[in-house]
Each structure stands twice: as structure tokens, then as C-alpha cells.
Chain A
Amino acid sequence: MLVRIEVNGEWREADMWPGSSLLFMLREELALPGSKNACEQGECGSCSVWLEGELVCSCLVLAAQAHEREVRTVESLSEPDGERRHPVQDASIDAGAVQCGFCTPGFVVAVTDLLARDPDPDEATVREALSGNLCRCTGYVKILDAVRMAAERMRTGA
């Protein structure tokens, strides 16, 4: 089945088995491996992307459901050479929120989504917003530090 999506501002297409997920399309067909494949059941959030501007688990979207729709992945947040990064990515590095790094792209997308809607979220709001993203290394403390740091930098333009 031929599926065409606008991913990170560019129209791309792939001919796939019709039961393929959007995550499979991104990673295996479109060479966008930033979204990670971990649980394949919507539990871990590692594959978080935006579909028509809404935060979703791309493993739970049938690629065909995204046909002719707009998708934005973690790759949209920085330049390919890593020279220019999103403030959430910088804060994740600076706060030590990255250990093995597998969950990081999903967290970066979920945090970016949260801060776009709520530039100054309280702790409970942050925890609820990130409840769909699992990290098995950090214990979350430094991830929460990174959210605070990113929020402050984005508010003050630092």
C-alpha cells in the first residue's frame, strides 16, 4: 500500500504492508530513526511524534491512517549536524537527563509539546504530561530538572 505523508515539512511516500505502523514507516522506510521502537503497545512513549499537531505514539497509528496527513518527528527539532538544537534538547544534556538515551527522543517530543501549551507548568502538570513516557535509567529526577531548565530558558529567551 502506497502511503504519502508530509513529514517535517517534506512530502514522502513508501510502499508498505498495509498493517504497518507509522513508526515502522518512519524508521524503516523513511530513514528517520529518531523515534524509537521499544514496547509497540503505547506504554513507553519512545516513539512519540506529532500527528496533525497532536502528540501520539506512532506505534499505535496505522501508517495508512497518516496518509495525506502531517507528521512531525524529533528530527524536526534540530539540524542534522547537531549544531542547532531545541532548548529542550540542550536542557536535557545540561541537566544530565540523558543516560542510555533510548527514551530521550520521546521525552524531548513530549516535553516540547507540553511547553508549547504551558510555558510555566507546575510539577504535577509536568508529571502528568510525561506519564506516557518511561525511563528505566534516570529515576526521572534529572528529567524533571531538564523540564524546569528548558521552561525557564524558553520563557526568558536565554
Chain B
Amino acid sequence: MKELVIVSGKGGTGKTSVSAALAFLAPQKIMVDCDVDAANFHLISDAVIKKTHGFKAGFEPHSNEEICNNCGKCTTLCRFGAINAGIVTSLNCEGCGVCAFNCPEHAITMQEKEAGQWFVSDTSFGQLIHAELGLSIENSGKLVSKVRQEAKKIASNNSLPLILTDGPPGIGCPAIAALSGASLALAVVEPSLSSMHDLERLAELVSHFNLPIMVCINKSTLHKENTKELIDWCNSKAIPIAGQLPYSDAFRTALQSGKTVMETDDEDVKEQMKKLWKNIAKKLDIPERKSGLTFFQGKLNPFR
């Protein structure tokens, strides 16, 4: 089972649009949306939620007013300015438990915190695992790990060769949680100074994990000089370019109708997207398209 994670560093370079197009092309896979605090994949894949699960992570203090004698020790010890004589400002609280463990009256207890929800959905391209982080909740990295874990279970139970992951932007905890232990990172980059700058930091992060990385240049025709510079940079770092997608309004119009770019009539983009997928499938060593034989083997195999 291979895990492809689509990332970008900079946001808005086209991760979800590219992920959805690849989901359209890849024959057998499960999809995961790891951008848990601003998930979008379900909007482009006609997702219908089949199962909803609560997600608990981290802790929050609850103080018992009847026991609290307002001694103020919790207020003194809290480094986040989150508790004042037993009254918790949950927006500031990091859930460390210092107030509870050091309360002389044992008036404070730490309780597990509702941190969001995760979903199993059916989409036009197969199953999707996605999530919604609770409002202003920390633990996004943990929720990312959770959806990845669940996707792995389903993939292995159904002998699916690919987990296709739409990743989060940035290089912080959600990106780290989405990338660690994956098979391949695909960075969707546009030829803008911002996106190229952010790719450098992303590539540094990915190399921390010893993870193979490929680059997809999106909107490659927007700025030819930058595209060339980007290709040169990738070459100098021995990062393979998996594909180049021309600038096209088809992405935008497809999105407006909740479709992937593969369902539009922009033949050029579709052709380039197929090439991109072919290169990725080759790199991951997984079948590029559904073969009739595997399909029947799957159906007929009594041990499947």
C-alpha cells in the first residue's frame, strides 16, 4: 500500500484541485483530506457522509467551585494566562494540567476534550476520510494522524494499493503529521516567488523525513521565466518534476460546479494531468489504470 501526500508549502496553489483530478484518474484508492482545519476535498467529489465519529484529544481543566477557596495558586503557576482563581479562559488554555496537578485543594480535574469530528464518506471516486477540527482547537496534528490511520485500515482491509492524501499548507504540525512515514510527497507549486520560496522550506522539511518528493508545476504558463527558474532549482536539488499544468480557467469553472478539471473540456490540461498521474504511478510502482484482469481477480478471489 502506497501513500501519496499532496502538499504545497504556500496555500492556494491547487492542492485540492490536483488531488481531485488524480482521484479521478487513479483506479483503486482511498482518499484522505488532511487539511483538517479547512477541509475542501468533499466539496469537489460529491461526498455523502456515511459515518460520523467524534474525536477527543487533549485535556481541559474543570474546577469545582465548591471546593475552590480562591487561593490563586493555579493563576500563579499557569504560564498561558488561562486560569484565574479557578475560572478557565479556554481560548488561552493549552491543556497542560499544571493547574489541576498543583491545586492544594484538588478542586481541578482534567477532562478529555472534544476536538472535532471525522467522517467516512462515499464520493464519485471512492471512499473519503475527512475531518472537521473543533473551533479554535489545538490538536490538528493528532486529527491528521487519526484520519490517516483510519484510511490505512480501510485500504488494507480492501487491498487498495493507494492512499491519496490532500495535505495541509505550511510546514508546521499538521504538515509534519500528514507527511511522516508516507511513500511520496507531491508538491504543487506555482511559478510565483512566494510559492517557490515556500517550496524551498517544504523541501527542507521533507528531507528531514527522508521522503521522496516530486514537484507538479501548476499554472506553469503564468510566468515562463519563473517556471524555468523553478525547473532549474528542482534539477539542482535532484527533485523530479512529475508534471506541468498550464494556467487555465477550467480549474475555476470546474470548481464552481463541484467537478474536477478532468470533467471539463480543456483537453490540454486533461492531457497534462494524465501525464502527471502516469509519472506518479510509475514512481509509486502502482497500476496506472484499472486492468480487467485485476478487477476479475479481485472479484473472484475468495480470500480477498
A and B physically associate:
no
A residues near B (Cβ < 8 Å) are none
Residues of B within 8 A of A (CB): none
